[in-house]
Amino acid sequence: LSQVLFEEEVRLLGNYHLSADIVTLIKPWAAFLTLNYPSQSGQILDYKLLEIARENGAELKGLESVQEQVDIFDNLALEKQTKLLSDTVCHYAFVEGDFDLMKSMYLNRDISGLYAYAQRYSQSEDELYNELIKKLSIDRNYTMAERMQPQLGNGGAFIAISAMHLVGDEG
């Protein structure tokens, strides 16, 4: 990254309680992902559901591993990771606006609106964003659908996935 872009990345990630020393160590994709969540978001719903399940003695099975999730980004070429980070840092005001809009749609149970909003990049002529959407959504949908079949076959399953995986032709 250029010095100016790096300094802005450090400033923005400071809102997430990451020091400049830490920012120099994390991969571009990790900074990109961090910046794509609100800095003051509170407890993540996934963790809350996990906490409730554990408190109630539920049998827990993952539909994908943390490593599989990490690999989506870690296997991107460094220049692609850097582009994602640069785009996010340069347009962070828009990213922040996305948080509020998407939260509003979620709270209003406007899942189709969320999906349509998320798809705004799928029409992009930028191959990187199309590749990322395919890996983050479509490919994972097929993997998770296949892996949930045994639990569904046994009955009595509660399966928690992101609302974005529920909609669309391949949702």
- Whose CA is closest to 91, among 36, 40, 14, 50? 36
- For residue 70, what are its two tokens? 């990490």
> What's the whole-model pTM score?
0.81
pLDDT digits (tens, 9 = 90+) for 53-63: 999 999 898 89
In this predicted structure, what is the pLDDT of residue 121?
61
Burial 67-88 (b: 16+ CB within 10 A, else e): eeeeeebeebeeebbbbbbbbb
Query: Cβ(1)–Cβ(82) under 8 Å?
Result: yes
**pLDDT interval class at 21 (50, 70, 90):** very high
In this predicted structure, what is the pLDDT of residue 38?
85
Query: Cβ(34)–Cβ(16) under 8 Å?
Result: yes
